[in-house]
Structure 1
Amino acid sequence: MSRRILPVRALATAGAIAVLVAGLGACASADEDKDPDHRTFAFQGSTLTIDADDSGLEIVAADGNPSGKAEVTRWFQGSVAIGSDPEVTWSMDGDRLKLRTHCTGVVADCATKHRVEVPRGVAVKVRSDDGSVRARGFRDGLEIRTADGSVRVSDSSGPLEMHSDDGSLRADVSARQVKASTRDGSVRLVLATVPDLVETRSDDGSVTVSLPRETYKVSAESDDGSVDVSVPRDDASSHVVNARTQDGEVTVRTAN
């Protein structure tokens, strides 16, 4: 039996990396940052686009926020054992707020979180490559798309659209129009107002829609799972609900 003998330099490097990994301990958490950064960005127009990468997002519609300005708070914690120091950047270009975290190298361990306070009366679009998104308080349009992360929306009444390539979707809102789709994750919608249109889909996960008592035009399908529709149905209704999944249960029910 042959045995590969590593050069002394390779052994020393491997040993140093092992020591560094052991010294780092648990993964970084943005909540450990007790002195977050704050900045105000002016923007133009009635729609704000938030373009984020590798960061958790909390987005809030705030009454006291000045018109045309976004208040941003940033928490960051991280380190790189071998390589360039981590860097977090933020900038505004017209109506696009760009949030970035650069953390690469050997034993890179970083975590970032942003809270964005937006004036009421502003519609928001979110584009996130990696990170969960939480939003609340919106009366205007809200569109959230993330490549990897869950989405949670509450206390909002404007048109809502949510999409995740990999993550669950949750909304507890009074919006009259809701669209929600995910490729991998469950969808759960609780609506406090009778909607005009609900469209929800999951490629792999259960779909649950809870509605106020009313009569609905419902289309509910699952390729591999049970379907339970307990709301009153009428194909002539102007309140339309489409709920589909390829793999999982579909439930359309009256909210308690």
Structure 2
Amino acid sequence: MSVRTVRIHRPVAVLGAALAAVVLLSGCGASAGDDDDPEKRSFPLQGRTLTIDSDDSALDVVAADVDEVRVTRWFEGSTVLGEDPEVTWAMDGDTLQLRVNCDGFVSACSARHRIEVPREAGVRVLNKDGEVTAEGLRTAVRIRSDDGRVTVKDTSGPLELRAADGAVDVVDVDSRRIDARSDDGRVRLGLRTVPDRVEAHSEDGAVSVDLPDGAYKVAASSGDGSVDVGVKRDDSSTHIVNVRSEDGGVEVN
């Protein structure tokens, strides 16, 4: 396994308890967008599917004309009380591991990674804290975010998307099979191609599905909200759309 660790050292200073309290209460945070000199690294991909295992980082996953996995990292971090922040990246087989350690008593860290993957590679993302965006992928994509929005654009492979706490947005896709679910957030799907099967569910949020012209076998319901189905319905259709919100409106148009 190839591992690189970056340590960000804070200036040596004597800070009183009063100053630490001010910093703590001020709510000042770090922003990865302030990093004007991002680091870059390439990793070989062993296998046909890349797994991205990340925590505490926003992720942008894009298809590119590359033979390896190329990663660009933006990071800003500081601590007043506690250990210096650490940010690491490593490839273990077909799994890219991205970690941010920011455990100081008074600390602020922000990370963002852009991950370019070979066009023929499948992608699986497990992100514990941070939004995930995927774009331009032509193979199967599976994404789970425990805390953050999931956005997918311009894809054509099967999609399996989960957000435990955040919205799910699918924009201008040709994917023929989509399974999108949020435990706490809206689900919004926009398709350019008539799909074979769509599953769209939210426990707490509105659900909307925008479909191309066609006839669909639709099951749409809401535990607490309005239901509007504007597409042509045909119970014998092989194009199946199941939409459900436990608490929110439902639209299929």
TM-score exceeds 0.5: yes
RMSD value over aligned CA atoms? 1.3
Superposed CA offset, 1:108-143 (max 9, x none):
100000000001000000000000001100110011
The answer as to 2:94 corresponding to 1:91 is no
Distance in 2 separating the partners of 1:249 and 1:139: 31
Matched, 1:197 2:197: yes
State the distance in 1 between where 2:218 and 2:98 align: 40
Paired position in structure 2 for 1:130? 129
Partner residue, 1:222: 222
Tell me, in whole angstroms, the C-alpha distance in 2 between the residues paired with 1:234 and 1:108: 57
Deviation at 1:13, TM superposition (A): 5.0
Answer yes or no: is 1:181 the counterpart of 2:181. yes
- The 5 Å alignment of 1:1-256 reads 14-21=17-24, 26-63=28-65, 65-66=66-67, 69-172=68-171, 173-253=173-253
Residue 185 of structure 1, CA deviation: 0.2
Report how far residue 27 of structure 1 moved.
1.2
State the 1:14 CA deviation: 3.3
Residue of structure 1 equivalent to 2:9: none
After superposing on structure 2, the runs of 4+ consecutive aligned residues of structure 1 that deviate more than 6 Å are none
SS in 2 for 1:225: coil
Instruction: Tell me, in whole angstroms, the C-alpha distance in 2 between the residues paired with 1:47 and 1:59.
Output: 13
Query: Deviations 1:35-62 (Å, cap 9, x if unpaired)?
Result: 0010000121100000000000000000
| Residue identity in the other structure for 1:46 | R
Q: Deviations over 1:129-161 (max 9, x none)?
A: 000001100110011001000011101111111
Identical aligned residues as a percent: 53
**Structure 2 regions of 5+ residues with no counterpart?**
1-14
1:16 to partner: Cα distance:
3.2
What's the counterpart of residue 4 of structure 1? none
Distance in 2 (alpha carbons) for counterparts of 1:32 and 1:144: 27
Cross-structure match for 2:3: none
Q: Which amino acid aligns with 2:127?
A: S
Aligned-residue offset at 1:174: 1.1
Note the C-alpha offset of 1:19: 4.4
1:6 matched residue in structure 2: none
Alpha-carbon distance in 1 for matches of 2:76, 2:219: 46
